[in-house]
Structure 1
Amino acid sequence: MEQHWSDFFPYIFMGVKVIALGIAGFFAVKWHFDQDKKLKAKEQKES
């Protein structure tokens, strides 16, 4: 039986989705840490 490219699409799509969500999650956490660092630096500068 011959395999069609669409038979593998869910596996490829899921892999790309996991990679994209991993990268997005990393940058979301990084952004929050950077914002917290910026806020602490601002508070320390003011006092």
Structure 2
Amino acid sequence: MNFWIPVVLGTFKVLVLGTFMFLAIKSHYDGAKKEKEKKKEMEGR
């Protein structure tokens, strides 16, 4: 039984860290894309 505790917690840790890393990278690129569109709009005026 004690063997499964680190396996389950390690799997959970990897899933949580992977999810939040994905969301952090996605929000970073979305912010850069939004900033680029805003700059392009300002140049058009």
- Say whether the fold is shared (TM-score over 0.5): yes
Gaps in structure 1 of 5+ consecutive residues = none
* C-alpha distance in 2 between matches for 1:44 and 1:12: 48
Gaps in structure 2 of 5+ consecutive residues = none
TM-score (normalised: structure 2): 0.88
Q: Hey, what does 1:10 align to over in structure 2?
A: 6
Using the aligned pairs only, state the percent identity.
33
Structure 1 runs of 4+ off > 6 angstroms? none
Larger Rg: 1
Q: Hey, what does 1:37 align to over in structure 2?
A: 33
Give aligned pairs, total.
42
TM-score (normalised: structure 1): 0.85
**One-letter amino acid of the structure 1 residue matched with residue 41 of structure 2:** K
Cα root mean square deviation, aligned? 0.6
